[in-house]
A and B are shown apart, each in its own frame.
Chain A
Amino acid sequence: MSSMLPLPSFDLKRPESVDAATRAMADNEHARLIAGGTDLLPSMKYGIFNDPVLVSTRRIAGFADITETDGGGLRIGAGATLRNVRRHPLVAERYPALVDACATIATPTIQAMGTIGGNVMLDTRCIWYNQSTFWRGALSGCLKCEGTLCHVAPKGTGCYAAHSADSVPVLTLLDARAELVSVRGARQVPLSELYDVDGRTWIMKERDELLTAILLPPAPDARIHHRKLRARGAIDYPLLLTAVRLDRGEGGVTGGRVIVSAVGPKPIEVEGVSELLAAGERERAAEVAYKQIFPLATHTWSSTWRKKMIRVEVRRALEAIS
């Protein structure tokens, strides 16, 4: 067979219910979930993942449903494609920033394949990690995969692979929660608490937990804006992600939040900017963000430049909704 880059061998489970899926994950200690596969399959071709069992979510009934919840919130099934999230009338009407965020992911074709759940669970990325078996082997691996050294920060002990999920900053500003289900039961976690500071263990979930839905509360009385910085106009993962929120209340803007991502293993919510935002101090807020965040050389483009861009992007995001 001619395959250019073959996938490793695996057993494919195709459960038709959440129950069956969680049981498959619990029963196989070396099982991994696959949804759209747009990130997992390339990584498997690169030899980064080698699990002998894949549990597909594709046939789970209702997994892609997007439904309104009591009180006017939204339940987005983890299996909903990014394209369907982007096009859903309730998303466009109530959470337009989420439409914008999804529209910048990769390419339209990949948006038709990839799922919102897959994006929320997206593996962290690094130029030293997202490479083939041969390439990584030439360096004896890295701290995140098959090695003991982080090439980005050789003197450190942690992994700095960058969070790269375009939908997460906006979802976090919308106070989204992740619904996680396993054989032990279900739980909900605010997205702001889902991620970890180390690029290796970036998601605080058990191996066998399945993300089944993103739960959005009713749209807040706020304006939210999302900006993605990338090298080209399509395909590329983010060099920098900026999402800002300005809350509206009596007399105008009452406060806000700023999240910057693609700068480390977890998205960073900038501290101490709410009052500045209420006062309309966009440049000072951008400066605060700049001072708090230190991107490392996980990307092909300069981390020094990416840091400078924090100032520019935060300010521009705020200008867009002021």
Chain B
Amino acid sequence: MGQHKVQGRHSKTDPMPSELILSLNVNGDARRVLADANRSLLDLLRDDLGLTGSKHGCDVGDCGACTVLVDGEPRLSCITLAADADGCAVTTIEGIADAGRPHPVQTAFDDQVAAQCGYCTPGFVVALKQLFDENPAASDGEIRDVLGSNICRCTGYTKILAAAFQARDQLNGGDTSQGDE
């Protein structure tokens, strides 16, 4: 059962995975990054760009904790190749607030205490922001549909729904819409 300490070393003869130079706009900032082809967008954002708000819940696309926007569309960044965001505008949870002013979805989450442990929260906030960007008058049913993309284990979704409805109502000029189921 012998073992000894070994210094790591990249052998020049090891096959290199294909490397790409990617140009992305991340939360409004132009970035150029060198990435292996097999790098996930989530790992690129977290490790290379220090944007740790998007989370590894499962890393295989089952939970939504890694949700970001790519060209305004929702993406599970753990199963998105970084290469597929090349030339695109990426928005993460860190880019949801506007110059430090929380988005109505974020204010609603705070008011309703919709974040307990907070691990799923970035994914939900990004998904809801995207919904309201496209459809600020989304019905209760449309909201529930979108929330089906994300898993929460703490809240039972009750206050996440309340927060979503509050944000929707605020984005619609404060009137309490009667959303249909």
The interface of chain A, by Cβ under 8 A from chain B, is 1-12, 14, 37-38, 41-42, 45-46, 54, 56, 58, 107-110, 112-113, 233-235
Contacts and interface: CB of A to CB of B under 8 A. Distances in A.
Interface stretch (B58-66, B93-101, B109-117): B58-66
Q: Bin the interface of chain B by size.
A: 35 or more
A108 B74 contact: yes
A307 B75 CA distance: 35
B64 A2 contact: no
B38 A7 contact: yes
B73 A11 contact: no
Nearest to B43: A3
Nearest to B75: A113
B40 A110 contact: no
B156 to A, nearest CB: 14
Given A7-B39, A108-B148, 13 more contacts: A3-B43, A4-B78, A7-B40, A11-B18, A41-B60, A41-B79, A45-B79, A107-B148, A108-B74, A108-B145, A108-B146, A112-B75, A113-B73
B161 interface: no
A12 B37 contact: yes
Nearest to A2: B47
A96 B145 CA distance: 19
Interface string B74-89: 1110111101100000
Contacts of B120: none
Q: Is the interface of A mostly helix, strand, loop or mixed?
A: loop
B76 A5 contact: no
B81 A12 contact: yes
Contacts of A108: 74, 145-146, 148-149
Contacts of A5: 59-60
A227 to B, nearest CB: 18
B56 interface: yes
A45 to B, nearest CB: 6
Interface string B39-60: 1100100110000000010011
B148 A56 contact: no
Given A108-B145, A235-B148, A3 B40 contact: yes
Which 7 A-B pairs have CB atoms at the shortest separation, nearest pair first? A234-B148, A9-B17, A12-B37, A107-B149, A109-B149, A7-B38, A4-B59
A139 to B, nearest CB: 20
14 contacts: A1-B43, A1-B47, A7-B40, A11-B37, A14-B83, A41-B60, A108-B146, A108-B149, A109-B67, A113-B73, A113-B75, A113-B76, A233-B148, A235-B151
Contacts of B76: 38, 109-110, 113
Given A7-B40, A11-B18, A38 B74 contact: no
Given A10-B17, A10-B38, A12-B37, A37 B146 contact: no
B61 A41 contact: yes
Given A2-B46, A2-B47, A42 B127 contact: no
